[in-house]
Amino acid sequence: MPIAPDFTSVYSHDWEINFIQCTPNGLLKHTELCNILQLTAGYHAEKGGLSFADMQEHHQAWVLSRMRVEVDELPRWRDVVTVKTWIYDLQGSRSIRALELWKGDKKLAGSVTYWAVFNTKTRRAEPLALPHEHFEKYPDREATAESFKKVDLNRETTIAAEYKTVLSDLDIVNHVNNVKYLEWCLDAINPRPLLKQQLQSFDMNFMRELQLGETVQLLTANDDTQTFFSINKEDKACFALELNWK
Protein backbone atom coordinates (compact mmCIF):
# COMPACT_ATOMS: atom_id res chain seq x y z
CA MET A 1 0.00 0.00 0.00
CA PRO A 2 1.19 3.57 -0.63
CA ILE A 3 1.95 5.91 2.24
CA ALA A 4 -1.35 7.19 3.65
CA PRO A 5 -2.18 10.88 3.09
CA ASP A 6 -2.63 11.33 6.85
CA PHE A 7 0.62 9.55 7.78
CA THR A 8 2.58 11.10 10.66
CA SER A 9 5.77 9.91 12.32
CA VAL A 10 4.06 9.93 15.74
CA TYR A 11 0.82 7.95 15.62
CA SER A 12 -2.10 7.71 18.04
CA HIS A 13 -4.90 5.16 18.14
CA ASP A 14 -7.92 5.05 20.47
CA TRP A 15 -9.19 1.81 22.00
CA GLU A 16 -12.30 1.07 24.04
CA ILE A 17 -11.58 -1.73 26.51
CA ASN A 18 -14.11 -4.53 26.08
CA PHE A 19 -15.08 -7.27 28.53
CA ILE A 20 -13.24 -10.03 26.64
CA GLN A 21 -9.97 -8.17 27.27
CA CYS A 22 -10.44 -8.02 31.04
CA THR A 23 -9.70 -10.18 34.08
CA PRO A 24 -12.56 -10.97 36.52
CA ASN A 25 -11.92 -7.72 38.43
CA GLY A 26 -12.58 -5.68 35.29
CA LEU A 27 -8.97 -4.66 34.63
CA LEU A 28 -7.22 -5.04 31.29
CA LYS A 29 -5.18 -8.24 31.05
CA HIS A 30 -1.43 -7.75 30.66
CA THR A 31 -1.56 -9.94 27.57
CA GLU A 32 -4.25 -7.71 26.05
CA LEU A 33 -2.18 -4.65 26.92
CA CYS A 34 0.62 -6.14 24.82
CA ASN A 35 -1.84 -6.93 22.05
CA ILE A 36 -3.18 -3.37 21.73
CA LEU A 37 0.34 -1.93 21.89
CA GLN A 38 1.48 -4.17 19.05
CA LEU A 39 -1.68 -3.68 17.01
CA THR A 40 -1.13 0.08 17.23
CA ALA A 41 2.43 -0.39 16.00
CA GLY A 42 1.00 -2.41 13.12
CA TYR A 43 -1.49 0.32 12.20
CA HIS A 44 1.33 2.88 12.20
CA ALA A 45 3.46 0.67 9.96
CA GLU A 46 0.51 0.29 7.58
CA LYS A 47 0.04 4.07 7.41
CA GLY A 48 3.70 4.39 6.49
CA GLY A 49 3.76 1.70 3.80
CA LEU A 50 5.48 -0.94 5.96
CA SER A 51 2.51 -3.22 6.63
CA PHE A 52 2.61 -7.01 6.67
CA ALA A 53 1.09 -7.05 3.16
CA ASP A 54 3.69 -4.56 1.89
CA MET A 55 6.54 -6.57 3.36
CA GLN A 56 5.20 -9.89 2.11
CA GLU A 57 5.89 -8.70 -1.43
CA HIS A 58 9.52 -9.30 -0.41
CA HIS A 59 8.71 -12.34 1.80
CA GLN A 60 9.39 -10.23 4.89
CA ALA A 61 7.65 -9.59 8.21
CA TRP A 62 8.42 -7.81 11.47
CA VAL A 63 9.03 -10.16 14.41
CA LEU A 64 9.47 -9.10 18.01
CA SER A 65 12.87 -9.72 19.60
CA ARG A 66 12.68 -7.88 22.93
CA MET A 67 9.99 -5.95 24.77
CA ARG A 68 9.88 -4.06 28.06
CA VAL A 69 6.60 -2.88 29.55
CA GLU A 70 6.27 -0.58 32.58
CA VAL A 71 2.81 -0.33 34.15
CA ASP A 72 1.62 2.38 36.53
CA GLU A 73 -2.06 1.50 36.27
CA LEU A 74 -4.28 -0.75 34.18
CA PRO A 75 -7.40 0.59 32.45
CA ARG A 76 -10.81 -0.89 33.16
CA TRP A 77 -13.70 -2.27 31.16
CA ARG A 78 -15.29 0.47 29.02
CA ASP A 79 -12.38 2.88 29.47
CA VAL A 80 -11.32 4.65 26.30
CA VAL A 81 -7.54 4.80 26.09
CA THR A 82 -5.03 6.14 23.57
CA VAL A 83 -1.87 4.38 22.46
CA LYS A 84 0.86 6.66 21.08
CA THR A 85 3.84 5.26 19.17
CA TRP A 86 6.98 6.42 17.39
CA ILE A 87 10.29 4.96 16.21
CA TYR A 88 13.57 5.51 18.09
CA ASP A 89 15.73 3.97 15.38
CA LEU A 90 15.42 1.90 12.20
CA GLN A 91 18.52 0.58 10.47
CA GLY A 92 19.21 -2.53 8.41
CA SER A 93 17.17 -5.40 9.79
CA ARG A 94 16.36 -3.83 13.19
CA SER A 95 13.88 -1.30 14.53
CA ILE A 96 13.34 0.14 18.01
CA ARG A 97 9.83 1.43 18.65
CA ALA A 98 8.33 3.21 21.66
CA LEU A 99 4.72 3.02 22.82
CA GLU A 100 2.69 4.70 25.55
CA LEU A 101 -0.81 4.03 26.90
CA TRP A 102 -2.79 7.07 28.02
CA LYS A 103 -6.20 7.64 29.58
CA GLY A 104 -7.01 11.28 29.01
CA ASP A 105 -3.98 13.24 30.21
CA LYS A 106 -2.70 10.43 32.46
CA LYS A 107 -0.03 8.03 31.25
CA LEU A 108 -0.83 4.49 32.40
CA ALA A 109 1.97 2.43 30.81
CA GLY A 110 5.02 2.66 28.59
CA SER A 111 6.87 0.18 26.43
CA VAL A 112 10.00 -0.07 24.32
CA THR A 113 10.23 -2.81 21.68
CA TYR A 114 13.01 -4.23 19.52
CA TRP A 115 11.94 -5.70 16.18
CA ALA A 116 13.75 -7.68 13.49
CA VAL A 117 12.95 -8.06 9.79
CA PHE A 118 12.32 -11.76 9.21
CA ASN A 119 12.25 -13.54 5.85
CA THR A 120 9.20 -15.81 6.03
CA LYS A 121 10.69 -18.25 3.49
CA THR A 122 14.24 -18.61 4.76
CA ARG A 123 13.19 -17.98 8.43
CA ARG A 124 16.19 -15.68 8.85
CA ALA A 125 16.73 -11.99 9.64
CA GLU A 126 17.64 -9.71 6.74
CA PRO A 127 17.69 -5.97 5.92
CA LEU A 128 14.37 -4.25 5.31
CA ALA A 129 13.60 -4.16 1.60
CA LEU A 130 11.23 -1.15 1.76
CA PRO A 131 12.07 2.57 2.12
CA HIS A 132 11.56 4.12 5.56
CA GLU A 133 13.18 7.55 5.32
CA HIS A 134 9.77 9.23 5.60
CA PHE A 135 9.55 7.98 9.20
CA GLU A 136 11.15 10.64 11.39
CA LYS A 137 13.14 8.98 14.19
CA TYR A 138 12.95 10.16 17.83
CA PRO A 139 15.90 8.62 19.72
CA ASP A 140 15.53 11.01 22.69
CA ARG A 141 11.77 10.68 23.22
CA GLU A 142 11.71 7.86 25.76
CA ALA A 143 8.56 5.98 26.78
CA THR A 144 10.06 3.99 29.68
CA ALA A 145 12.38 4.58 32.63
CA GLU A 146 14.56 1.64 31.52
CA SER A 147 15.20 0.13 28.10
CA PHE A 148 14.72 -3.49 27.06
CA LYS A 149 17.49 -5.85 28.13
CA LYS A 150 18.90 -9.32 27.71
CA VAL A 151 17.28 -11.49 30.38
CA ASP A 152 19.79 -13.54 32.37
CA LEU A 153 19.15 -17.25 31.75
CA ASN A 154 21.61 -18.52 34.37
CA ARG A 155 19.20 -19.34 37.20
CA GLU A 156 18.34 -22.27 39.41
CA THR A 157 14.90 -23.19 38.06
CA THR A 158 12.12 -25.69 38.56
CA ILE A 159 9.66 -27.01 35.99
CA ALA A 160 6.38 -25.09 36.22
CA ALA A 161 4.57 -26.82 33.35
CA GLU A 162 4.92 -28.64 30.06
CA TYR A 163 3.00 -27.59 26.99
CA LYS A 164 2.40 -28.73 23.42
CA THR A 165 1.69 -25.96 20.93
CA VAL A 166 -1.72 -25.97 19.23
CA LEU A 167 -3.31 -24.17 16.29
CA SER A 168 -4.73 -21.32 18.40
CA ASP A 169 -1.17 -20.41 19.45
CA LEU A 170 -0.10 -19.59 15.89
CA ASP A 171 -0.28 -16.29 14.02
CA ILE A 172 -0.11 -15.27 10.36
CA VAL A 173 3.67 -15.74 10.28
CA ASN A 174 3.02 -19.45 11.06
CA HIS A 175 4.72 -19.52 14.45
CA VAL A 176 3.60 -19.10 18.06
CA ASN A 177 2.50 -15.50 18.56
CA ASN A 178 4.71 -13.60 20.99
CA VAL A 179 1.87 -12.77 23.42
CA LYS A 180 1.14 -16.49 23.83
CA TYR A 181 4.47 -16.99 25.62
CA LEU A 182 3.49 -14.35 28.17
CA GLU A 183 0.04 -15.92 28.55
CA TRP A 184 1.49 -19.37 29.30
CA CYS A 185 3.75 -17.90 31.99
CA LEU A 186 1.08 -15.74 33.67
CA ASP A 187 -1.25 -18.75 33.76
CA ALA A 188 1.43 -20.63 35.73
CA ILE A 189 1.67 -18.19 38.68
CA ASN A 190 -0.50 -17.17 41.62
CA PRO A 191 -3.03 -14.73 40.09
CA ARG A 192 -3.51 -12.64 43.24
CA PRO A 193 -0.60 -10.17 42.68
CA LEU A 194 -1.72 -9.68 39.08
CA LEU A 195 -5.28 -8.91 40.12
CA LYS A 196 -3.97 -6.44 42.73
CA GLN A 197 -1.97 -4.55 40.06
CA GLN A 198 1.34 -5.43 41.73
CA LEU A 199 3.15 -6.18 38.45
CA GLN A 200 5.30 -3.10 37.98
CA SER A 201 7.21 -4.04 34.83
CA PHE A 202 8.24 -7.01 32.72
CA ASP A 203 10.93 -7.83 30.19
CA MET A 204 10.52 -10.39 27.40
CA ASN A 205 13.16 -11.89 25.11
CA PHE A 206 12.18 -13.91 22.03
CA MET A 207 15.05 -16.12 20.84
CA ARG A 208 13.70 -19.00 18.76
CA GLU A 209 10.37 -19.51 17.04
CA LEU A 210 8.01 -22.34 17.92
CA GLN A 211 5.66 -24.02 15.48
CA LEU A 212 2.65 -26.32 15.62
CA GLY A 213 2.88 -29.50 17.71
CA GLU A 214 6.17 -28.75 19.45
CA THR A 215 6.58 -29.62 23.14
CA VAL A 216 8.17 -27.14 25.55
CA GLN A 217 8.95 -26.86 29.25
CA LEU A 218 8.20 -23.76 31.33
CA LEU A 219 11.04 -23.27 33.83
CA THR A 220 10.69 -20.78 36.66
CA ALA A 221 12.56 -19.14 39.55
CA ASN A 222 11.30 -16.71 42.21
CA ASP A 223 12.49 -14.23 44.80
CA ASP A 224 10.71 -11.50 46.78
CA THR A 225 10.54 -8.96 43.95
CA GLN A 226 10.95 -10.94 40.73
CA THR A 227 9.62 -14.02 38.94
CA PHE A 228 11.63 -15.52 36.10
CA PHE A 229 10.48 -17.84 33.32
CA SER A 230 12.29 -19.60 30.53
CA ILE A 231 10.41 -21.56 27.87
CA ASN A 232 12.68 -24.29 26.54
CA LYS A 233 12.52 -26.72 23.67
CA GLU A 234 14.99 -29.62 23.88
CA ASP A 235 16.99 -27.74 26.56
CA LYS A 236 17.32 -24.61 24.39
CA ALA A 237 15.64 -21.38 25.50
CA CYS A 238 13.06 -20.00 23.07
CA PHE A 239 11.73 -17.27 25.37
CA ALA A 240 12.70 -15.57 28.63
CA LEU A 241 10.61 -13.40 30.93
CA GLU A 242 11.26 -11.31 34.04
CA LEU A 243 8.25 -10.13 36.05
CA ASN A 244 9.09 -7.30 38.47
CA TRP A 245 6.74 -6.87 41.44
CA LYS A 246 5.93 -3.83 43.56
Q: What is the pLDDT of residue 70?
A: 98
Domain's final residue, options 148, 180, 201: 148
Task: Indicate yes or no: pTM above 0.85.
Answer: yes
Answer whether 90's CB lies under 8 Å from 114's CB.
no
Instruction: Determine what percent of the chain is predicted with pLDDT higher than 90.
Output: 96
- The residues with which 164 forms a beta bridge, in sequence order, are 215
Q: How confident is the model at residue 1 (pLDDT cuts 50, 70, 90)?
A: low
What are the pLDDT digits (tens) for 34-55?
999 999 999 999 999 998 999 9
Section 100-119 average pLDDT: 97
Domain's final residue, options 102, 118, 148: 148
Residues 199, 163 within the same domain: yes
What are the pLDDT digits (tens) for 94-105?
999 999 999 999
Q: Domain range spanning residue 102? A: 1-148
What are the pLDDT digits (tens) for 53-87?
999 999 999 999 999 999 999 999 999 999 999 99
Average pLDDT, the chain: 96
Query: End-to-end CA distance of the chain, in Å?
Result: 44
Q: What is the pLDDT of residue 114?
A: 97
Structurally, the chain folds into a number of domains equal to 2
Domain's final residue, options 92, 127, 148: 148
Section 97-117 average pLDDT: 97
Residues 59, 144 within the same domain: yes
Q: How confident is the model at residue 220 (pLDDT cuts 50, 70, 90)?
A: very high
